[in-house]
Structure 1
Amino acid sequence: MTYAIVEAGGKQLRVEPGRFYDMDRLALEVDDQVTLERVLFVNNDGESLVGQPVVEGATVVGSVVSHLRGRKIIVYKMQPKKKTRKKQGHRQELTRVMINSIEMNGKAIASDSAAAQEPAAEQAAVEAEVES
């Protein structure tokens, strides 16, 4: 299984092709391509590349699926014995990104189409086993 650890919006995410992830709001339109160049780690079927701090030539390519807002959190501040209370809510603006491929030096080492073919191959193997 191929995956990468990328830095986006000050957070580190473990990403795989064919999955979507929520990250802080990006100034892009829906269906736009996004390239994440701060790749910290790449695992390609057991072969690991560790960046210092980033892996040279590694990029993660995805597309924007939608913009949404996260769950509401409550911020409550109180000073005891002073009758001071402040209640405030917050919802984080998020962007949902579908990861299409992980690339090394411009060549895709893992892509969404390869991830979609793996379950199909497993299903074919199971069907052949059942027929036997």
Structure 2
Amino acid sequence: MHAVIQTGGKQYRVAEGTTLKIEKLELGAGDSVEFDKVLLIQSGDDIKIGQPYIDGGKVTATVVSQGRHKKVRIIKFRRRKHHMKKMGHRQYYTEIQITGISA
């Protein structure tokens, strides 16, 4: 069984037991979270598509950990102008494990 959920302005394809990193949620490790913005649920040959969301559809997950991604290096450089600016950014994430999908 697969589902497509929306969280943090992004869409994710999930199945039971999968672990993924999403945009940071203010929850602690071991907490449970429900996603009600379910766009699609597929169970074998049966496919339900929401317009835009499925009524009564939800995906439950547990929080595994909180963390930060690898550093993304940003460099601004102007040739022949003696100008170079280096910056870096590390995005926060929440790692979750999908425990259930229901329509």
* Superposition TM-score, scaled by structure 2 size: 0.94
2:17 alignment partner AA: G
The gaps in structure 1 that reach 5 residues or longer are 105-132
Structure 1 stretches of at least 4 aligned residues deviating more than 3 Å after TM superposition: none
Higher Cα radius of gyration:
1
Q: Whose strand proportion is higher, 1 or 2?
A: 2
The gaps in structure 2 that reach 5 residues or longer are none
Question: 2:17 aligned with 1:8, yes or no?
Answer: no
Cα deviation, residue 57, structure 1? 0.9
Distance (Å, rounded) in 1 between the aligned partners of 2:81 and 2:50: 51
Q: Whose helix proportion is higher, 1 or 2?
A: 1
RMSD (CA atoms): 1.0
User: Which runs of structure 2 are paired with 1:36-75 in the superposition (5 Å)?
Assistant: 36-75=35-74
Aligned residues: 103
* Superposition TM-score, scaled by structure 1 size: 0.74
Higher relative contact order (CA 8 A, sep 6+): 2
Cα deviation, residue 80, structure 1? 2.7
Identity %: 34
